[in-house]
Structure 1
Amino acid sequence: YAIQVLDSYDPAQGYKLIYMVQGNPLVTDIRFEGNNKYRDAKLTRTISSKVGRPMNGRLLFEDAQAIKKLYQKAGYPGTTVEALPSIDEQAGRATVTFQIEEKEKVRIVDVIFEGATAFPQSGLKSWFGRGLQWKIKTREWWWFSWLTGSGSFKEDQFEEDKDKLTDFYRGEGYLDFEIKDVKFDRPEPNRMIIRFQVYEGKQYQVGSVAFNGVTLIDTNAILQNLKMPAGEVFTPKGLYDDIEAIEDSYGILGHIDARADPRRNANVETGNMDLVYDITEGEKIYIEKIEIRGNTKTKDRVLRRELLVNPGEPFNKVLVKYSTNRLGLLNYFEKIGWLDEETEVPNRRNLVINVDEKSTGNIQLGAGLSTIDSLVGFAEISQSNFDLFNPPYFTGGGQKVILRVQMGTQRQDYVLSFQEPWLFGRKLIFSQDLYHRELSFNSTLYNERRTGSSTAFTRPIGREWLKGTLSYTIENVGLLDVSPNASPAIKEEEGTKLISEVGLRFDYDRRTGSGPLADGGYRTVLDTGIAGGPLGGDTDFYRLE
C-alpha cells in the first residue's frame, strides 16, 4: 500500500537505506452514495472489490469504470463515478465509498446524416439496401423504446454504430467513405440530436478483370464463377468471395496450394476498379490417408460415411468443404475444421479432420395451460447420437432415439421413436415409431384412442433434395365413451378398428438457409397411402395429398 525510504549516514559505514513497507489495508465496508438508478446490491455485483479482501487501488479504478459503463449502457452519459477510500493505518482497515453523480437520461430525438445522398435518411436510420439485415442501434426515441431499449444515447453502442456505418458504405462500393465529424446538439438537457457529417465519395464498379499465370483452366470458366465481374459494384467482400472462387476452381482439381493475389488499380475519375489476379497454380495433390481427431465418443464410421472424398483421390478442396458442412449438420460437434498434413510421399498429403464433440443428449420437462389441452405436462428424453449396440452409455453410433410422454386432463401421449440414418452401411434411413394416444378434446361426443406402430424407409432419389419414403403403419383406432346425443353415424363407428396401411411419399425440398427456418426456395410433397384389401385390417381406403 505504501513504501517509505529512510536514509542515514555513517562516516565509517556510509549510507544506510531503510525501506518501511505498509501492507494493503483490509476492506471492511463498501458504500455507494448518489445512486438512485441502481440499488446497492446491483452495484455490489458489478464491482470486483469485495469486503474482507485487501484493498487494491487499480482494482478500485476498474470498479469505478465498470459502474460508469453500467450507467452509459442504460443511457445516462456523463455520469461520473469516483472511488474514495478511507484508510485507518493503525488498524490496517479501509472503507471504500463509490461517489456517484448521476446525470439525466438523454433521449435521442433525431439522427441526421449530413452529406448523405446515395441512400435516404430513413434507410440509414433503419434498414440498409440489398436485403442486408443491418440495423443501426443509435436511433430516435419512440413509443416502444421502454421495451426495446433503443432511443437513449449509449457511448459504446454509438462507437459500434460508427464502425458499422463505415462498413455498410464500403460494402456498397463507396470505398472512400469517411465520417468527417459527429456533432451533438442539445436542444434540452435531456434531449439530443446527432449529426453525422459524412463524405460518401464515388461508388466504384469493376472495370476490367485479367489473370496472370493461368495455364490449367480456361479463363472464361473462371470468369463465370466470379460474383463480381466487370460492370458490377466493387466491394471488399465481393473481392474476398472471388478470390475464394478462383482458388476453389483449382482446389476442385486437387491444386489446394493455388493462390490468387489481386492487384487493384483504382480510377477515381471514372469510379472503376480494374482487377488483375496473379495466379500461383501449384502442383496437383492427392490424398494419402484421412485422419479424424477429437471424436472420443462418436465412432469413426459415423463421420467417414459423411465424407465425399477418399484416400488415393485428388485432394478436392471443394468436396472437403462440403464434407465438413455435412458433418456440421449432424449437430454432434461444437467445432469442425480440416487441414492438410505433409507426408514423405511427394504430391501426397493427409487430410486431417478435427472435431470438438458436444453433448447430444437432452432432457426436457414442461407444463402449461391451453384452451385445447387444458392442463398438460410433458417429459422428453432424446439422444441424437445414439448407439443401440454400445452399452452401457448407448452413444456414438449416429442413431436417434426419442422417448416422449405427455399427459393432461384432455390427452395422453406416449411416443418412442428410433432412427438409423445409414441402414446396412447405405444411405437408407430406417425409422420406427411406437405410440399410444388418448384424446378427448376432439369432440364432446366421444373419446379417441390410437395405438400403433409405423415403420419407414427413406432414401435420396438421384440428388439429395429429392427423397422417397416407403412406410407401413398398423394402428388400432377406437371411438370410446360415445355420448347418447351423438349422431347415428358416430354411434355406428363406436368401438375399435384395425388399420393396416402402406404409404409412399416423395419430398422435393429446394429450401435454402441454415437452421430450422428457411430463407428461400420451396418444398413440394406428394403423400399417398392405401389401407385394407390384401393388407388386412378392418377398413379400406386410399388417400392422396
Structure 2
Amino acid sequence: MMFDLLFRKTLHITAPALLVGILLLPGLSQAQFLSSPSGSSNTIGEIRVEGAKWINKNTVLHSLELEVGDRFSTSKQQKSLKALYKTGFFKDVQLDRQGDVLVVRVLENPLVNEIRFSGNDAMEDDELKQLIKQKKREPYNKARTEADLAVMRQAYRIKGLFLANIELEVEELSQNRVRLTYEIEEGEKSRVQEVRFIGNKLVDDGTLLKKLVIQPTGWLSWLKEDDTYDREKLMFDQQQLRNVYQDQGYARIQVNSSIAELTPDKKAFIVTHSVTEGDRYKFGKLTIQGDFDELPESDLYAQLQMEEGEWFNVTAVRDTREKLTDLIGDFGYAFLDINPKTVYDDEAKTVSLDFQVKKGRRVYLDRIDVVGNNRTRDEVIRREVLLGEGDRFAASKVRKTKNRLRRLDYFEEVEVTTPKTMDPDMVRLKVKVQEKPTGSFTIGAGFSSTDKIISSASVTQRNFLGRGQKLSFSTALSATRTEFEVSFTEPYFLHKPISAGFDLYNRKTDDDDNSSYKKSSYGLGLRLGAALSDHLYNSVSYHIRHVELYDIDSGASSVIQAEYANSPYLQSMVSNTLSWRDMNRSKDGKSVVKGRSHSLTTDFSGLGGDVRFVRLVQDNHFYHPLMKKDKLTGHLRLKGGMIETWDGSVPIYERFNLGGPRTVRGFRSSGIGARSTTDGDSMGGNYFGQVNMELIFPVLGLEDKGVKGMTFIDAGLLNNFDSLGAGIDESDNPRVAAGVGVHWDSPFGPLQFSLGFPLVKEEWDETRTFDFSVGTSL
C-alpha cells in the first residue's frame, strides 16, 4: 500500500518532465546539427560526399541546397535530403556534421546491368525498349519502372490485348547491380465483335460504319488490324460520326455516347454509338467581314466552297476557311484569325455563316530553325522550304512547305510553326521533324496473264547518308523476262533543283507466245530532270547499251533472220521527255477524279553505235467527274507515236506493239498488227494510235475497300510506212474492243482484271478475253 502511494507521487512529479523531454527530442537533433563544436565555426568549410560509386559526386553536390560558405541550416538540410531522394539515384541518404565539414553519406540504388522481356510476341523487344524510360547502365528507379509498366500495358491495350499481364522481376547481381526482366503474358486479343448504332434513322449503318476507325472483325482484320479497341480511337470515331452527319446537312447532330463493353468471356468488345440526328439544314446567308481590305470583296467571296440554299456541309466550311487563310495570309499575316460565326434558324432550317476576319500584324521571316533531324542533313530540309529569311510571310507557302516535307517520306511527323520573336514585325519559322527508317527490303510476288508468275526483290535507301539521295538494287523474274538493275538518284544536283542519276541494268526477254527469238541487253543510262513550273517537268537521258538476239527458231521469218544476222547491236540514244500534269485525287488519295496530263517523248538513236532512228511518242490523259462526291468519273486516253530511220530498217525490238491490258484490252500482248504467216511472230509497227475511254465508278458496298469498277471502249491502229513484203499479214485498219473491269487496291497489292471483247479485228490478230494481274510487296 505504501509502495503504491509512493509510485503515484513519483509519477506525478516526473511525468511532466518526461513529456517535455520527449517533445524536445527532434529539437535536440536539430540543435546538434546547428551547434558549433568547440573550436569550429558555424559556417560550412567543406562538403564531403561518401558512398558514391556510380553517380558522379558533382551530381550530388548540385542537388544540395547548401554549399561551401553557407551557414549550417536545418531547413536547407531537409530540402537537400528531399532533392537527393527525388533524383531516384539513392536508396538512403544521411547528412552529418563533423566540425565545419558537411558529410553527405549516400547508399546508391543498384545499377541496371540488363533489361529483358519474356513472353512478348505482339511487340518486338526494340519496340518495348523505346517505350520504357528505365535504361540499361542507369541506376534502378522503382518509380520509373512502375510508370514504364503502365506505359507498356497501355501499348498492349492499343493492340487489343486487354488481358495482357505484365510484371517486373528484379534480380540482384554482384557489385550492386540488378537485372530487370519484364514477364509478359499477352493473352488473347480483345477484338471488336460488333459495332452498333442507336438512333440513326436517316443515315444507314453501313454509311456510318465505313467512316470509323474501329471496325468489327472481318476476313481482312488480321492484316489491317482495324478491329482492336482503344479509348482514343473511340473518341476519334465520335468526331467521325459528327462529320458524316454534318456533311449531309444534319448540322445539329449529337453523339450522345460511345460505349465499349466486354463480352462475358472477356475476349471481345461490343461498341455502341448512340446518336440524335435532328433535322436537315441548308446554308443560309453567307458573309465575310473584317479588317482586310487589300483585295476586292469579289476575290474573297470567290473562295467560298458553298452556296446559299445548298445542304449544310461542314467540310465545305473548313475548306473555305483554309482557302481564305491562304489568300489573306499570303499578304504577310501570320497571326490571321478567321472565325466562322454560325447562326442557326431552327424554323427555316438554315445555317447562316459570317466569316469574321482579323488580319493581325503583317510580319516577315526572321530565321528558319530546323530541329529533330538526327540523320537527315539540314540542307535537305531547308531546300524544301519555300520561304527565305527576310521574306514576307505567306501562309500558302508554309502549307506547301509542310506538304513537300511530307512527300519526301523521310519523316514520321512534320510540324511547321511560326513562333513570335522579340521584334513584333518578325516571326521565326520552326520546322520540327521526327525521322523514320528510310531503308527497305521488299520481296514482291504476283501473277498476270501476260507475264505469268512474277517475283521481285529490291533493297532501297531513299535517304542515302542523310543527303536525300536514293540508291536501289532490284531484280525481277517472270516467265518472259529477267531483270537486274542498280539505280542512283541525286534530287538536287549541284545544289540546284535538278534531279540527276544513273541506271545500270541487265535484261533478258523470252516471250515464246509472241516471238521466235530471245533478247538480251545490258547498258548504262544517265539522266537529268528539272521542274519548269508547278505543273511542267522536263527530263533528258542518255543510254548506251548492247542488244543481242539469240536462239532463233529454225522456222523464223525472213525479217527475223535478217535481224539476227545484224545482231548484236550497239545502241547510243538521247531522249527528252516534256510532261505537264495537273491532277486532283479523291479524298482517300487512291484515284484521280479530275485533271489532265500530257507528255511528249523524243528519242534520237545514232550518236555512235549501229542503231539509227528518231522516235516520237505523245500521251494524254483526261479525267472529269460526271457526278458529285467522286461517284462517277470519265477517263479518256489518247496516245500515238511514230518511228523512222534513215539507215536500213528499225530493229524489231524498237518498234511499237499494241494489245494487252495497258493498250487495247481484248487482245493478247502484241496481238495487234503485222504478223508473220510462217511462225506467227509479231512484226510491230512504225506508227500507232490508241484511244481508251473509261467510265469509272465505285462498286456498291465496297467503296471503302478501294474497289472500283469500269466499263471501257478501246481502239488502236498499228502499221508500217512501207510493206514488209511477202509472208507477212498486215493491215492499216483500226481494231476496237469493249468490256468491263475491276480495280482493287487490296492489302495484297493492286489487283485488276478485265473482260474485253473484240468488236473489230483482223483474222490473224491474237485475242484474249480475260486479263488478270495481282502483286504485292512483302
TM-score class, shorter-chain normalisation, is: 0.5 to 0.7
Task: Tell me what 1:48 maps to.
Answer: 165
Query: What SS is found at the alignment partner of 2:332?
Result: coil
> Identity across aligned pairs (percent)?
25
For 1:147 and 1:333, locate their aligned partners in 2 and report how far apart those are by CA, in whole Å. Answer: 28
CA distance in 2, matches of 1:493, 1:456: 29
Relative to 1, partners in 2 of residues 1:51 and 1:310: Cα closer, same or farther, differing over 3 Å? closer
Hey, what's the Cα distance between the residues in 1 that align with 2:409 and 2:161? 40
Tell me the alpha carbon deviations over residues 47-69 of structure 1, each in whole angstroms, 9 at most, x when there is no partner: 4278999xxxxxxxxx9xx97x9
* Residues 471 and 517 of structure 1: CA distance in aligned 2, closer, same or farther (over 3 Å): farther
Map 1:9-24 to 2 at 5 A: none
Are residue 441 (structure 1) and residue 441 (structure 2) matched?
Answer: no
Count of aligned positions: 424
Distance 2:205 2:574 in 1: 57
Question: Which residue is equivalent to 1:458?
Answer: 529
Q: CA deviation at 1:125?
A: 4.1
Structure 1: how far apart are the matches of 2:597 and 2:210?
25
Q: 1:417 aligns with which of 475, 487, 497?
A: 487
Cα-Cα RMSD: 4.4
Deviation at 1:508, TM superposition (A): 1.6
Answering whether residue 593 of structure 2 is matched by residue 522 of structure 1, we say no
Q: Which residue of 1 is the match for residue 548 of structure 2?
A: 478
Aligned partner of 1:92 in structure 2 is none
User: In structure 2, which of residues 251, 268, 277 is the aligned counterpart of residue 175 of structure 1?
Assistant: 251
- Whole-Å separation in 1 of the counterparts to 2:279 and 2:163: 44
The C-alpha deviation readout for 1:54-85, integer Å capped at 9, x for no partner, is: xxxxxxxxx9xx97x94x7335x9xxxxxxxx
Q: Is the 8 A contact 1:511 1:518 kept in 2?
A: no
Q: Which residue of 2 is the match for residue 490 of structure 1? A: 560
Distance 1:50 1:283 in 2: 56
> Which among 266, 273, 278 is matched to residue 200 of structure 1?
278
Look up the SS of the partner of 1:491 in the other structure: helix
Structure 1 residues 325 and 442: CA distance shift in structure 2, 3 A:
farther
The separation in 1 between residues aligned to 2:245 and 2:481, in whole angstroms, is 56
Deviation, 1:181, is 12
The answer as to 2:285 corresponding to 1:211 is no
Q: Aligned partners of 1:459 and 1:544: how far apart in 2?
A: 21
Partner amino acid, structure 1, of 2:520: R
Aligned 8 A contact 2:417 2:431 in 1: yes
The verdict on how the C-alpha distance between 1:45 and 1:442 changes in structure 2, with shifts beyond 3 A counting, is farther
The offset of 1:287, in angstroms, is 0.6
Residues 1:249 and 1:412: Cα distance change in structure 2 (over 3 Å) = closer
Check if 1:540 corresponds to 2:597. no
Q: Any conservation in 2 of the 1:74–1:154 contact (CA below 8 Å)? A: no
1:348 is aligned, of 420, 423, 426, to 426
Distance 2:230 2:162 in 1: 21
Q: Residue 314 of structure 1 aligns to a residue in which SS?
A: coil
CA shift for structure 1 position 319: 0.7
C-alpha deviation, 1:373, in angstroms: 6.1
Moved more, 523-532 or 325-334: 523-532
Q: Is the 8 A contact 2:282 2:309 kept in 1?
A: no
> Which of 406, 411, 414 is matched with 1:328 structurally?
406
Q: Deviations over 1:464-505 (max 9, x none)?
A: 221122222222111012222322221222230122222221
Once the two structures are TM-superposed, the CA of residue 371 in structure 1 deviates from its matched residue by 7.5
DSSP-derived class of the 1:253 partner: coil
1:428 aligns with 2:494: no
Q: 1:436 Cα deviation (Å)?
A: 1.2
**Structure 2: gaps spanning 5 or more residues:** 1-159, 171-184, 259-271, 618-778
Distance 1:285 1:425 in 2: 29
How far is the alpha carbon of 1:363 from its aligned partner? Answer: 2.1
Contact 1:433/1:453 (CA < 8 Å) preserved in 2?
Answer: yes
Letter in 2 for 1:527: T
2:371 to 289, 293, 301: 293
Q: Does 219-228 or 492-501 show the bigger shift?
A: 219-228
Question: Which letter maps to 2:326?
Answer: D
Instruction: Give runs of aligned pairs for residues 95-244 of structure 1, distance below 5 A.
Output: 116=202, 124-127=204-207, 134=211, 165-177=241-253, 199-244=277-322
Distance 1:239 1:490, change over 3 A: closer
Q: Is the 8 A contact 1:267 1:273 kept in 2?
A: yes
CA distance in 2, matches of 1:367, 1:226: 47
Maintained 8 Å contact 1:306/1:326: yes
CA spacing shift, 1:399–1:474, aligned 2, 3 Å: same
Choose 516-525 or 265-274, whichever is displaced more: 516-525
| CA deviation after TM superposition for structure 1 residue 347, in Å | 0.8
From the superposition, tell whether residues 410 and 526 of structure 1 become closer, same or farther in structure 2 (CA, over 3 Å). closer
Contact 1:450 1:476 in 2 (8 A): yes
Q: Which segment is superposed worse, 237-246 or 346-355?
A: 237-246
Cα distance in 2 for partners of 1:328, 1:317 equals 17
Rounded to whole Å, the distance in 1 between the matches of 2:215 and 2:474 is 46
Shift of residue 352, structure 1, vs aligned partner? 1.1
Distance in 2 (CA, whole Å) between partners of 1:250 and 1:470 is: 39
Aligned residue type for 2:613 = F
SS at match of 2:401: helix
**Cα offset, 1:196, TM superposition:** 8.9
- The answer to whether the 8 A contact 2:283-2:311 is kept is yes
SS at match of 2:535: strand
CA distance in 2 between partners of 1:248 and 1:335 (Å): 22
1:380-399 aligned at under 5 Å gives the runs 380-386=458-464, 395-399=465-469
Question: Residue 580 of structure 2 corresponds to which residue in structure 1?
Answer: 508
Offset at residue 518 of structure 1 (A): 3.6
Q: Secondary structure at the residue paired with 2:419?
A: strand
Task: List runs of 5+ in structure 1 lacking aligned partners.
Answer: 1-42, 54-62, 78-107, 183-193, 387-394
CA distance in 1, matches of 2:466, 2:496: 18
Q: TM-score, normalised by structure 2?
A: 0.47
In structure 2, the partner of 1:11 is none
- Counterpart of 2:755 in structure 1 is none
Once the two structures are TM-superposed, the CA of residue 438 in structure 1 deviates from its matched residue by 2.0
CA contact (8 A) 1:286 1:315 kept: yes
Alignment check: 8 A CA contact 1:126 1:136 kept: no
Alpha carbons of structure 1 residues 384 and 169: separation in structure 2 relative to 1, 3 Å:
same
Residues 303-351 of structure 1: per-residue CA shift (max 9 Å, x gap): 2222211111112122111112111111111111112233333411221
Contact 1:247/1:258 (<8 A) preserved? yes
TM-score normalised according to structure 1 size: 0.66
**CA offsets, 1:397-452, max 9 Å, x none?**
22212122345786432211121222222222223211111222356732210112
Q: Partner amino acid for 2:573?
A: E
Query: 1:366-385 CA distances to partner (integer Å, 9 max, x unpaired)?
Result: 57787776777544221111
Change (3 A) 1:430 1:196: closer
CA distance in 2, matches of 1:233, 1:537: 67
**CA pair 329-114 structure 1, distance change in 2 beyond 3 A:** closer
Alignment of 1:228-377 (within 5 A): 228-365=306-443
Q: Which amino acid aligns with 2:592?
A: D
CA deviations 1:220-244 (Å, max 9, x no partner) are 3222212235444334443333333
The CA distance in 2 between the partners of 1:316 and 1:372, in whole Å, is 51
